[in-house]
Amino acid sequence: MAEHGAGAGPRVLSGTSRLAGIIGWPVSHSRSPRLHGFWLDRYGIDGAYVPLPVRPENLVIAVRSLRDLGFRGGNVTIPHKEAVVAACDRLEESARCAGAVNTLVFEADGAIVGLNSDGAGFIAGLAQTVPDFAPAEGPAVLFGAGGGARAVAAALLKAGCPEVVVVNRTPGRAEALAAALGPRVTTGSWGDPGPLGRAALVVNTTSLGMLGQPPLALPLEALPPQAVVADLVYVPRTTALIAAARARGHRTMGGLPMLLHQASVGFALWFGVTPVVDEALADFVAGDIPDEAPSEHRAPCG
């Protein structure tokens, strides 16, 4: 079987092509079409995966319309991960735990099923990127309290993390997340470095650091030297936070490994093949992602 770009030739869609896509607003930043396109080429699948920009007020009707048009399902990205629950007929346990949906499956009987592969993708990416770290080593501090934060928090708890501290600019959202996930989840105050001092893992789940956004500036000098720093942002591939953490000698994980691993769940459900996450895929997806944020978006992080 030919690899992408190695003589496989263009895919030609038929009248029975399997269709999926990514729903967001905006959705132009997403590399998911590039990622799934690589796999479709690699495995010679008669199918397509397309970007689907959907305004928030049109979300539910758009999801139902995609089902009626014959799509197999799709991914869901910001700002729709929590709101799309209203369009689902059934939620898998992963979505119930996360309180958010990042993957939709349209079943043969018309049912819309929501699941969440973000948490599993984060854990798999962490295991691949920082293999000598285990979530059970100590507390994790998460910045942000949206759907991504809840999915990662739930997955960390399942993996044995003893405590997750959620820090958000709006305290009420952090408190709601903690209440939903139980006593091992607590909250911290934005700007208070205290939780960092005992952290084994720090995770940015906000959009801060994304290309065009200001960086997440943290007092990294408060972190224990052995702490791991992770960022869900993958555009740029190396955020200011990750660059600062590496400069201080911390083990790090950018957002790309999570993106790749979470994507494999939906691909298998829509296209019938469990894809391999490997270096060739990572290199291809990263091919059009800037490696670092522009200098004007780099700020001291500690």
Binding residue numbers for NADP(+) = 93, 168-173, 232, 255
Pairing of strands 90-91, 103-106: unpaired
- 24 close to 77: Cβ distance less than 8 angstroms: yes
Going by the annotation, the residues of the binding site are: 30-32, 77, 93, 102, 118, 168-173, 232, 234, 255, 262
Q: H helices of the chain, where? A: 32-42, 59-68, 93-98, 118-129, 147-158, 171-181, 240-247, 256-271, 279-285
H or E stretch at 165: strand 164-167
Q: Considering Cα of 177, then 182, then 184, then 189, what sign does the dihedral take?
A: positive
Any idea what DSSP says for residue 238? B
Q: Whose CA is closest to 199, among 239, 167, 154? A: 167
| Contact assessment for residue 74 and residue 20, using Cβ atoms and an 8 Å cutoff | yes
**Residues known to be catalytic:** 81
Alpha-carbon dihedral sign for residues 102, 106, 107, 110 = positive
Question: In whole angstroms, what is the distance from residue 139 CA to residue 188 CA?
Answer: 12
Secondary structure percentages of the chain, helix, strand, coil, to 5: 40, 20, 45
Inter-residue long-range contacts of 84-88, CB under 8 Å, 24+ positions, other chains counted? 84/23, 84/59, 84/60, 84/114, 85/114, 86/59, 86/60, 87/59, 87/60, 87/63, 87/112, 87/114, 88/112, 88/113, 88/114
